[in-house]
Amino acid sequence: MILRSKLRVSYAGKNQVLVIANRMEAQLKEYRARQRRQALLDSAKQQYEKSKEKLIKMVLPKAMYEDTANRGEEHESLMEKEAPSPPPQPGIKPIQPFDMYDLSDGENDNEITIETKDDNDKQIRRCRFCISRSIVYLIIWTFTWGIFLHYQFGAVYFVISALIAIYLNTRTRPKREGEVSAYSVFNKNCASIEGSLNPEQFEREIRYGIGHAGTHMI
């Protein structure tokens, strides 16, 4: 009887150990599956962000994209400059030098700062509107591309979309106020390029000939 009871106890203990081991193995499998799922989600998010940024750069003109980034940096620097200075310590009065131009130029400076703030706010709102509109266009384009892929016309749709994007990025309309041109990006001061034909050189060549234009220019 004692041996039977001992065998029963040992058998029950083995069963409990097996149950605990099976439970731990199931929990470990579930944890590994959760980690794999999270890694897949993270990689999918990263690929989506990269593809979204590439498509935004492709849809938006390069000059507008760089101008948007520069305006964002200028706005951040302006906000840092406008941050309030720390209060002075009690008992110590800061020395403020007297400036004779403060009385006359104070109102003009205030008007200039107000105008610059308004211009920056308008530019920021315009850039946000352009970005949101481009994102909406991108979503519609992706959805339509999926439909064309289903009917095996994805490559044709992509090529036609690329041609339309190239045509829209080549400006045929008049320049807007404050819009950056490609020439001003590479040549900020709009200086004459050496070797290019300008009106003065053209006039000298007509008067003195091509060979003598360089000597008269010197």
In terms of domains, do 67 and 14 share one?
no
Q: In total, how many domains does the chain have? A: 3
Summary mean pLDDT of the chain: 70
Residue 65 lies in a domain: yes
The 10s digit of each residue's pLDDT in 13-65 is 667 777 888 888 888 888 888 888 888 888 888 887 877 777 766 665 555 55
In terms of domains, do 38 and 138 share one?
no
The 10s digit of each residue's pLDDT in 76-117 is 666 665 555 555 555 455 555 545 445 445 555 555 566 676
DSSP letter, residue 194: T
Per-residue pLDDT at 1 exceeds 50: yes
In terms of domains, do 167 and 67 share one?
yes
In terms of domains, do 65 and 164 share one?
yes
From 172, 145, 146, 173, select the one nearest 161 (Cα to Cα). 145
Enclosing H/E stretch for 203: helix 199-208
Tokens 């990006």 label which residue? 185
In terms of domains, do 65 and 153 share one?
yes
pTM score of the predicted model = 0.31
pLDDT (0 to 100) of residue 44: 82
* Domain hosting residue 202, numbered range: 190-218
